[in-house]
Structure 1
């Protein structure tokens, strides 16, 4: 190895020199006070160090590094004989001090670990350490390891008062979020339970009417979790919403059964008669509601995301379980509790103040029918326009609690360490990659990547990428003899033949210095063939000039540019762009499409079921009007609220169908029953709004308040999910109670005029008419 100087060009290939005499000279200088003082001042001025600092450094080195006190170049001669030709070019401008080329690489790497405001004059600064964590224990194993990492960092922080140590990263963030979510759920779940208890207690004013529905719901939830275990369904982020959904939706069946049962008792029926009439009258509506709701949730099976398919299946089974427990377990226990009571009539006067309120409300609705219909249609038109502008987006940051320490630190690192990005996307090459064509294609891809918008940069402005080609460049720059050894082009460093490529790959793959990196970019089969390669591309989506640009839009640009960067890598080599962000982008892009399909399937199947049951096409379609209007309203409201469709909120359309069709069926069934038995359209509207509307009001209140509790959740999408679901329930109630009876009244008038009867030609049931008029 030789270096050129302005005065002399050394003719031989390598030199070795023993530098141990330097230490002896330094010690002699320090023995003389004046020389020591001059040396100290010079050293302080040049390097900001003193001789005492060097002493301390060497003392610490003696304790921690297994190196001799004195080391000469000849001592490491055997380690560098393979580097016969030095990579250093040009002529040094300084006789005494020169900087080899690797100093520049070292500087570039070092700047990636230093904050952007660092300079040598600062008394304090920040730097980062990157720790690779390898876990084979799955999610739980990862949490355990990261908890240990956080614990050790806290110990370090408390042990030294001159440095502050903090830790962050995906593992640490997941650990903290898991802890926060667990603590929050310990509060949220009981709060949902308490809200439902309060509403039921206020509505029915008897403890037994609170305990029985909750007992039936508890049995259903136990069945759900047991089924999840039997089916091998993991408890994912989406599965967190199962319990509040089951509590919110499942209580509806219990409320309708209890409400109708008490209405019959108030009319003088015995417990046996009341429970029989309730199961008969409400049972059909409950079955239809259950069936259509199950259809709505099973539509999630068309989704491309496995957790969403599991979510739909769990909800569908949960609805079936709550239906069965309400109609069997709750009804049976209710009868057993009341059958021996002799003072049931005492409940008559205080039972249904809600019915009285809803009855007065019905009169107001009948008085202003046209105004109400016009107002609701206007709202529908406005929200429909807004709904068309709703976007699908998944931003990982949106799922994070903003006040979590590790998340604050993560964002700080993104800002203060612009060259430290560890977010990676990949171009995967599969096929025979040990060819000159493949290497040429990889080289061209690196050139294409230079002008991409979101590719991370190093401190020197070069792109932050790794591939077998960059490893070859590094190896050749450190050892020019490789050019001759493997017949490389002196400009591109690409071998002349496929055989040379294979030999170069083998050399790098088995080399102690480059083997680790090479194995991370090349895959070698047991027979020695190289059948895959990967280009690691570091990306950063942090851009101060585009703070308001959607995450999905950035990833869309990234995905488009990476696909455009792909070159020809050989006839038998296939290339694909992949990585965490790209996969997320493609999943969220497919969510909208799959959800549209799910929604259409749900609407069509629910309408078909109602048409078949009612045997009237028009009646089946009318019953779906509240559902479709609620769906439009909620999508428009989401846009106005600044929400987007993400993994949690994308379920809103199917939830709207599941909840809305439930309410619509109960209202339609009550209208059909009263209209058929009395032939009086006004009476049918009034009874639907007052009696069924009262039950729907209790159901809506329990569900709304239950989901509203999610505003205390630490995860932002869970908060959005709670607000959206509560609003959906409210919209479903409004359209089912305000609009549907008025539309049914117009349909009834048309049917009576055309056929002479509304539902059937049966005579008026005078006994029933008298009962509802009391």
Structure 2
């Protein structure tokens, strides 16, 4: 064959040889991929609060390098045998690698200052059962212990384990495994473990299962669809091989570039498997159609590439750009997901237009060409559907108008909100562990705040600053919801209590300068012995308030922060400045960027689609038709979110740009075919009918594969992945219905003659 669209056998062999050599390299690099989950990667880049938190960790420490171990004893924790086992367990924990310190209730001490100086008195005398009743009374009267180390019902204790900072996933998993393996030997009634290391280990375990499970499910799904559609081994094996090479290609590229599979990337192979099938189905369907019209194999291939080549390139472009707009995000995992998926879309496009034509050249004419019964069924169904659309065009316009208004109502109900562990299923044991601490020990959500004096010569331990700090503590506990608070104020109150014989009522700040001077006599010595670096910095001018709180969601947390900021402006004297920080705040602030990123991405996608439609038809009306037919599915899904209470969050915010980029593919294929038919001197109605019949089958098949392919993600253990599958799948199915009903009606509504769609000088012979 002599033109650019033909491919003789030699070039086909060369092409396949190069592709399979590339695939061999990809196999190697795919084996280098690792699973990784680092929740800190989800912090927003360039945010001032992130920069401040980085400085905060240099002053003090990271706020997530710990494990909480809750132990429940149904008979009550003030039992000598139970406390002995808990103490042995605490001692064992201290021997484990990567463990920095262990704070156990069995080893807690109270400071008492007597005539002979300060001494540390155990809170619990677990080796003397006769003293435990009195010990329990003292525990229930001690603010720093109740709700922190001991549950309020007296049936559980919490051990705080501090491990090496920024512990890797592998070492964190080993640490958790060692702890869990030791538990049977201590015979506890009930044990719960929570913390970053435990969560990351569980996430990676789930990601491993889902990576394999989703690939197998999508493979089986596509095989079933292809078998039903083409009813031949040719129609199944060749598309599967082409798409498989595309998936392997992007996985190999990721491996070569050192990109690991994180929580977002684990969806990529499944998405690429179903998205990559779209190009193949359009090419193969058109090729078989031309063969059935009596064309020779090479001529049929040339016609196929000519008529669907541009449209397929444009659909790949819009899909890739839909994903690539995620690169505007401030969150690294979302940026990487958008970038690599966009690369994967074009990898699939290249495979479809190199590997598939090469196989078609080298293979004999497929037997499926002679099976016309399937074609007649499709034509009968599509003709009936087209007649129905024409007959009920006014009802269709009215129905979508009502649906549009209802969608706007639902969209107004969408709220931005997220929980730290909402990705985990309610039935997952990890969720139960974190819920246990939320209900029993004030939560697992880290609370971090810095406090600093504004006077360069001042100190946090001046009486006025201590009074402000005490007010702040009270507000945080009673209004903000933080609990288990530790700060330099706790040291001062503990010394005051110690100076008064350990009297619970004297756990307070000094009442005057005289009492403060007594506290200062012991404060320096105490801080030197305890090590103040975790709560005090800059020679006493900077302090840290750290604690825990329940996971109430980002919406309520940010609202509480706003109220607290207003309160601090009026309540603090001005010599003390406090600033909320920590990983929890940064995760909450992600939502501030989500809406902006989403609208920016959609605006770019709308602009690109407008340019494509404008270039094809030179008509503002066609641009409007294209946008309307693809915006309505997005509004419908957003309305479902609003009416059902699905919040806009990290996972759901990305579905709109993804779904729009994919859904518009059908519109481009439809419009491209319409442009060709109109250019052949046919009436608008006849051209529209031909377009409907010739593109309908491929549009239905690809949309069904894509929609159901995304719905596979409903079986995910992660809430975010579940909602991506549900909402993108619904968007694509809604878009399919609109393409086959509303789009033809809009074209007939806005255009009366074909000349208005394409000027005569542009018509095709």
Bin of the TM-score, shorter chain as denominator length:
0.7 to 0.9
Quick one: distance in 2 between partners of 1:433 and 1:533? 14
SS in 2 for 1:399: coil
Quick one: distance in 1 between partners of 2:712 and 2:514? 63
Q: Report the alpha carbon displacement of residue 81 of structure 1 after superposing the two structures with TM.
A: 3.6
1:468 — aligned with what? 488
Measured at CA, do residues 751 and 274 of structure 1 come closer, stay the same or move farther in structure 2, by a change above 3 Å? Answer: closer
Determine if contact 1:425/1:579 at 8 Å carries over to the other structure: yes
1:228 — aligned with what? 254
Residue 427 of structure 2 corresponds to residue 403 of structure 1: yes
1:242 — aligned with what? 268
Determine if contact 2:404/2:632 at 8 Å carries over to the other structure: yes
What is the RMSD computed on CA atoms of the aligned residues?
Answer: 4.0
Measured at CA, do residues 345 and 324 of structure 1 come closer, stay the same or move farther in structure 2, by a change above 3 Å? Answer: closer
Gap regions ≥5 residues in structure 2: 1-77, 93-110, 122-132, 502-508
1:86-101 maps to which residues of 2 (within 5 A)?
none
SS in 2 for 1:576: strand
Give the structure-1-normalised TM-score: 0.74
Residue 153 of structure 2 corresponds to residue 117 of structure 1: yes
Q: Report the alpha carbon displacement of residue 197 of structure 1 after superposing the two structures with TM.
A: 0.9
Q: Count matched residues.
A: 643
| Cα distance per residue 1:254-273 (max 9 Å; x no partner) | 11111111111111112211
Determine if contact 2:468/2:573 at 8 Å carries over to the other structure: no
Quick one: distance in 1 between partners of 2:279 and 2:332? 29
SS in 1 for 2:649: coil
Quick one: distance in 2 between partners of 1:384 and 1:78? 68
Determine if contact 1:456/1:464 at 8 Å carries over to the other structure: no
Measured at CA, do residues 127 and 522 of structure 1 come closer, stay the same or move farther in structure 2, by a change above 3 Å? Answer: closer
Residue 568 of structure 2 corresponds to residue 563 of structure 1: no
Measured at CA, do residues 283 and 130 of structure 1 come closer, stay the same or move farther in structure 2, by a change above 3 Å? Answer: same
Residue 200 of structure 2 corresponds to residue 195 of structure 1: no
Q: Report the alpha carbon displacement of residue 639 of structure 1 after superposing the two structures with TM.
A: 2.0
Measured at CA, do residues 180 and 235 of structure 1 come closer, stay the same or move farther in structure 2, by a change above 3 Å? Answer: closer
Quick one: distance in 2 between partners of 1:433 and 1:245? 57
Determine if contact 2:281/2:702 at 8 Å carries over to the other structure: yes
Quick one: distance in 2 between partners of 1:631 and 1:100? 62
Residue 665 of structure 2 corresponds to residue 662 of structure 1: yes
2:406 — aligned with what? 382
> For 1:553, which of 544, 551, 555 is the aligned residue?
555
Q: Report the alpha carbon displacement of residue 603 of structure 1 after superposing the two structures with TM.
A: 1.0
Quick one: distance in 2 between partners of 1:150 and 1:603? 52
> For 1:132, which of 147, 151, 162 is the aligned residue?
162
Determine if contact 1:168/1:407 at 8 Å carries over to the other structure: no
Quick one: distance in 2 between partners of 1:115 and 1:234? 41
Determine if contact 1:667/1:737 at 8 Å carries over to the other structure: no
Q: Report the alpha carbon displacement of residue 390 of structure 1 after superposing the two structures with TM.
A: 0.9
1:651 — aligned with what? 654
Determine if contact 1:627/1:656 at 8 Å carries over to the other structure: no
Determine if contact 2:468/2:576 at 8 Å carries over to the other structure: no
Measured at CA, do residues 758 and 566 of structure 1 come closer, stay the same or move farther in structure 2, by a change above 3 Å? Answer: same
Quick one: distance in 2 between partners of 1:563 and 1:742? 55
> For 2:278, which of 252, 257, 276 is the aligned residue?
252
Residue 525 of structure 2 corresponds to residue 523 of structure 1: no
SS in 1 for 2:117: coil
Q: Report the alpha carbon displacement of residue 574 of structure 1 after superposing the two structures with TM.
A: 6.6
Q: Report the alpha carbon displacement of residue 181 of structure 1 after superposing the two structures with TM.
A: 4.1
Measured at CA, do residues 619 and 156 of structure 1 come closer, stay the same or move farther in structure 2, by a change above 3 Å? Answer: same
Quick one: distance in 2 between partners of 1:216 and 1:454? 60
1:360 — aligned with what? 384
Q: Report the alpha carbon displacement of residue 79 of structure 1 after superposing the two structures with TM.
A: 11
Residue 446 of structure 2 corresponds to residue 424 of structure 1: yes
Determine if contact 1:711/1:720 at 8 Å carries over to the other structure: yes
Quick one: distance in 2 between partners of 1:204 and 1:324? 23
Quick one: distance in 2 between partners of 1:762 and 1:445? 76
Quick one: distance in 1 between partners of 2:174 and 2:266? 21
1:82 — aligned with what? 117
Measured at CA, do residues 168 and 760 of structure 1 come closer, stay the same or move farther in structure 2, by a change above 3 Å? Answer: farther
Measured at CA, do residues 653 and 575 of structure 1 come closer, stay the same or move farther in structure 2, by a change above 3 Å? Answer: same
Larger Rg: 1
> For 2:185, which of 150, 156, 176 is the aligned residue?
156
> For 1:634, which of 619, 637, 642 is the aligned residue?
637
Q: Report the alpha carbon displacement of residue 168 of structure 1 after superposing the two structures with TM.
A: 2.1
Q: Report the alpha carbon displacement of residue 694 of structure 1 after superposing the two structures with TM.
A: 0.9
2:241 — aligned with what? 215
Determine if contact 1:295/1:606 at 8 Å carries over to the other structure: no
1:611 — aligned with what? 614
Quick one: distance in 2 between partners of 1:615 and 1:190? 45
| Cα distance per residue 1:694-724 (max 9 Å; x no partner) | 1010001111221222222122232222111
Q: Report the alpha carbon displacement of residue 135 of structure 1 after superposing the two structures with TM.
A: 6.0
Measured at CA, do residues 435 and 143 of structure 1 come closer, stay the same or move farther in structure 2, by a change above 3 Å? Answer: farther
Determine if contact 1:299/1:312 at 8 Å carries over to the other structure: yes
Determine if contact 1:704/1:730 at 8 Å carries over to the other structure: yes
Measured at CA, do residues 442 and 425 of structure 1 come closer, stay the same or move farther in structure 2, by a change above 3 Å? Answer: farther
Residue 205 of structure 2 corresponds to residue 205 of structure 1: no
Quick one: distance in 1 between partners of 2:159 and 2:369? 76
> For 2:512, which of 467, 491, 499 is the aligned residue?
491
Tell which deviates more after alignment, 392-401 or 429-438.
429-438
1:580-591 maps to which residues of 2 (within 5 A)?
580-591=583-594
> For 1:166, which of 167, 179, 191 is the aligned residue?
191
Quick one: distance in 2 between partners of 1:493 and 1:131? 38
Quick one: distance in 1 between partners of 2:263 and 2:449? 29
| Cα distance per residue 1:359-395 (max 9 Å; x no partner) | 2211221222111122122212211221121112111
Tell which deviates more after alignment, 443-452 or 568-577.
568-577
Q: Report the alpha carbon displacement of residue 464 of structure 1 after superposing the two structures with TM.
A: 3.5
Determine if contact 2:595/2:653 at 8 Å carries over to the other structure: yes
Determine if contact 1:297/1:658 at 8 Å carries over to the other structure: yes
SS in 2 for 1:129: strand
2:371 — aligned with what? 347
Determine if contact 1:181/1:713 at 8 Å carries over to the other structure: no
Measured at CA, do residues 574 and 308 of structure 1 come closer, stay the same or move farther in structure 2, by a change above 3 Å? Answer: farther
Q: Report the alpha carbon displacement of residue 670 of structure 1 after superposing the two structures with TM.
A: 1.2
SS in 2 for 1:465: strand
Quick one: distance in 1 between partners of 2:157 and 2:438? 13
SS in 2 for 1:168: strand
1:39 — aligned with what? none
Quick one: distance in 2 between partners of 1:187 and 1:101? 51
Q: Report the alpha carbon displacement of residue 231 of structure 1 after superposing the two structures with TM.
A: 4.2
Determine if contact 2:234/2:366 at 8 Å carries over to the other structure: no
Determine if contact 1:630/1:732 at 8 Å carries over to the other structure: yes
Quick one: distance in 1 between partners of 2:338 and 2:514? 55
Residue 582 of structure 2 corresponds to residue 579 of structure 1: yes
1:277-356 maps to which residues of 2 (within 5 A)?
277-338=303-364, 341=365, 346-351=370-375, 353-356=377-380
Q: Report the alpha carbon displacement of residue 335 of structure 1 after superposing the two structures with TM.
A: 2.2
Quick one: distance in 2 between partners of 1:425 and 1:248? 42
> For 2:545, which of 535, 560, 563 is the aligned residue?
535
Give the structure-2-normalised TM-score: 0.75
Q: Report the alpha carbon displacement of residue 407 of structure 1 after superposing the two structures with TM.
A: 2.3
1:51-62 maps to which residues of 2 (within 5 A)?
none
| Cα distance per residue 1:131-155 (max 9 Å; x no partner) | 33436542232122212222222x3
1:760 — aligned with what? 760
1:71 — aligned with what? none
Q: Report the alpha carbon displacement of residue 608 of structure 1 after superposing the two structures with TM.
A: 2.1
SS in 1 for 2:312: helix
Measured at CA, do residues 722 and 344 of structure 1 come closer, stay the same or move farther in structure 2, by a change above 3 Å? Answer: closer
Measured at CA, do residues 456 and 645 of structure 1 come closer, stay the same or move farther in structure 2, by a change above 3 Å? Answer: closer
Gap regions ≥5 residues in structure 1: 1-47, 66-75, 87-97, 119-124, 458-462, 482-487, 543-550, 766-774
